[in-house]
Amino acid sequence: MYRPLTSNKNMKRIVLLLLLQFSIFNSQFSILKADEGMWMLNSIDQKTAKVMKKLGLELTPQQLYNPDGESLKDCVVDFCDFCSGVVVSPEGLVFTNHHCGFGGIQKLSTPEDDILKNGFAAKSYEEERPVDGFFVRFLDRTEECTERVMSAMNEIYKANPDKERKLLNAENLDSVMTAVEKEYTAANPGKYCLVKSYYTGNAYYASIYTVYNDIRLVFTPTQTLGKFGGDTDNWMWPRQTCDFSVFRIYADADGKPAEYSKDNVPLKAKRYAKVSLKGFQPGDYCMTVGYPGSTDRYLSSYGIRERVDGTNVSMIDVRGKKQEVWKRWMDSDRAIAIKYASKFASSANYWKNSIGMNKAVKELNVIGQKQKLEKDIRRWYSADKGLKARFGSMFNELEKAYANRFETIRAYGFFSETFLRGIELRRVAAILASKPADMDSTEIALTREQLQAFYKDYDARVDEETMAVLLDNYRKQVKPEFLPNIYKDIDERFKGNAKAYARALFSTAPVQLPEKDEELKLDGNLKQFYESIRDFQTELVNRIRADRQTINYNEHLLTQAILERDQENPHYSDANFTQRLSYGFIQDYTAGGQHYDYFTNAQSLLDKAAKQDEIEDYKLEESIISLLKQRDFGRYADAKDGDLHLCFLSNNDITGGNSGSPMFNGKGELIGLAFDGNWEAMSGDITFNPDLQRCIGVDIRFVLYLIDRWGKADRLIKEIGL
């Protein structure tokens, strides 16, 4: 149930409205677009169920979400807190995307045993490889705790009657939410409990999870298949990427979560998804269930402009230059390519996302559309004295605060991408700076463990060149007032030569794990560099603190206004990496005068592979090309055309974090795994365009064909139930 942070009697009109998420459908809703929305599964009412049923869903709301029994939610997992996954067998077998498992596959790879490049198929449980740091979370249930959070905040308001609520919210909300989390944790021993904000701080829910930490790699295709198309095709359609990897959840003998042990056994799954080989056609029901990470659909026009011109530009510029350096080294040395594979993929993913978002925001006039909505809201509250008292200063304060901090936010974007995400040696300094000077044996061991994990995927030569390039670039991109003190050192000692500065720093810094314990300390040039960056970061954060409080509070009010003004229609909360459902159907699209079909086939993959001499991202092993040319697709062929379908489109509403989300048909059977969106609608995190926005998934038949025919993993095919 939605409740406002403000206690005003006018808000009573919308307390019942919203917000059982899907509730309050008027007679016209059935003709509206049914494809927008990231909905909480615990709030589906009968009216909503009818809409979904009309589209083709054969499951009831209780079959989707049942905290007291078995339901579809129980086979969908939070995969490592950055992706989604689905359990597909009684023995805890999990499908997710290749790019979700990429970091773990890379960790297990060496130049001598390059499973990242060559692929991997475990022939038995004993051959399945544990991945350090990987975990999955099963959602047990979701409970609203808005009243608990608001009651605590109201007590704080009463105790501080002279202080602005926006300041109290900024200072106290996190501690209140943490206190509520502790209550849930105490009441649910052994569980992971997390309280999160919904509707821009207008509602709060607690999610209770069961977490398994013994996760093992079972199967991965070659890198050429799992990342086919690479950066060339990323965020684009048509696609032929076989973006999947397979893991297994292990538990103790009683089926309880346990740290890795050779005595652990495959988890006996509470619920698993059945796969479908029947295929689908345009108009067929399709839904995703997963963990979308972050959207800003309620964001003001001022916030959108800041993101486009202040934040995205730094990501595009700095990551582009960093990736140029990295790629040169990766292309010249396979060992470096393995070390940097996961980092490069992660960096490049949202680098291209930011490029596409800025392009789409401009071409689709997203800011203009939001400004029109804001004019309508102004007219709405101006007609009512009570509403005007609550919302009348909201837009003026937003405009002023965003303008006031713009240059600092822009500089902070370049600072963050350069010094916090670009120059890797800073992380070594941060680890050493966090330790006491007189470390005991336990602290020494922990420090060595942290550094060893870092150095495993690090090359000082790459980082030194990256530092020199990024230091020069940062100076060019920001005003002199945003230069940290190290630039004074660069100018005075090295006559402005960033390359010479980097050489001096790296020549004395610990670029590999020190042999002696007494060398585990931060000193010299690295200490000077780290402290300068740390202190300047603090200065930048302090500069924007007051404006951030004003912005957060008034964005919160804007969401209230949107919900209250438009209370005849249901509203979903922005994504916040909690389990959500998106429903729609299989659908193609037309953009820029070009029509795109809803699926790709084997020949389209071969056609791209034929261009591999010109486009490196289209490289494919000859053994795979030969296999596809045989056209022996068997039961994995589409019944209508006899071809092997590779990837497909639906109009489901997804974002980052949905990677690996199962795509279900109306019976709740698995038909694919979501892995991307399309270029024409890259503004989707800010606004949903039903004509353009599409979810790209890998067809489960393509996945199983590769497991069966290329991987020869008959044991997995049988385990899945085929």
3-state secondary structure 74-128: HHEEEECCCEEEEECCCCCEEEECHHHHHHHHHHCCCCCCCHHHHCEECCCHHHC
Task: Report if residue 171 sits inside a domain.
Answer: no
Report the distance separating Cα 415 and Cα 332, nearest Å.
29
* pLDDT score recorded for residue 162: 84
Mark whether 285 and 350 lie in a shared domain. Answer: no
Q: Is 252 among the residues known to form the active site?
A: no
Question: Measured between alpha carbons, how far apart are the two ends of the chain, in Å?
Answer: 43
Return the structure tokens found at 170. Answer: 């900024």
Angle between helices 313-332 and 394-415 (to 10 degrees): 20
Q: What is the tally of structural domains in the chain?
A: 2
Q: How far apart are the C-alpha atoms of 396 and 381, rounded to whole Å?
A: 14
Please check whether residues 555 and 673 belong to one and the same domain. Answer: no
Asked if residue 198 belongs to a domain, the reply is: no
pLDDT of res. 533: 97
How far is it, in rounded angstroms, from Cα 298 to Cα 608? 40
Of 533, 562, 591, at which residue does a domain stop?
562
Tell me the average confidence (pLDDT) per consecutive run of 10 residues in the chain, 722 residues long: 37 37 33 68 80 93 95 98 97 98 95 95 97 97 95 91 85 93 96 96 96 98 96 94 98 96 97 97 97 96 96 97 97 95 92 94 95 96 95 97 97 98 96 90 92 95 98 97 96 96 96 91 95 97 93 95 85 94 95 95 97 95 96 96 97 96 98 96 92 96 98 96 90
- The string over 373-410, giving b where at least 16 C-beta atoms fall within 10 Å of a residue's C-beta and e elsewhere, is bbeebbebbeeeeebeebbeebbebbebbbebbbebbb
Q: Which of 98, 99, 556, 571 is catalytic?
A: 99
Contacts of 691 (CB under 8 A, 6+ apart): 589
Statement to judge: residues 541 and 650 lie in one domain: no
Q: Determine, yes or no, domain membership for 633.
A: yes
Is residue 99 annotated as part of the catalytic site, yes or no? yes
Q: How many residues does the chain have?
A: 722
Residue 286 and residue 310 in one domain = no
425, 299 Cβ separation under 8 angstroms: no
Residue 26: predicted pLDDT: 33
Where do the H-state alpha helices sit in 278-333? Answer: 301-306, 313-332
Boundary (domain end) residue, out of 517, 541, 562: 562
CB 310 within 8 A of CB 409: yes
Same domain, 111 and 244: yes
Positive or negative, the Cα torsion across 349, 352, 356, 359? positive
Tell me which residue has tokens 């609550």.
390
pLDDT at residue 449, rounded to an integer: 93
pLDDT at 48: 74
Same domain, 493 and 545: yes
Is the residue at 192 inside a domain?
no
Whether residue 363 lies inside any domain: the answer is yes
* Buried/exposed code over 355-367 (b: 16+ C-beta within 10 A; e: otherwise): bbbbebbeebebb
> Which candidate in 214, 243, 317, 676 is catalytic?
243
Domain match, 551 and 688 both: no
- DSSP character for 190? T
Query: What CATH number is associated with residue 624?
Result: 2.40.10.120
Catalytic residue among 207, 300, 659, 683, which? 659
Owning domain of residue 312? 301-562
- Using CA atoms, how far apart are residues 664 and 641, in angstroms rounded to an integer? 22
Tell me the residue ranges of DSSP E strands in 558-669: 580-585, 589-591, 594-596, 599-601, 645-650, 662-664
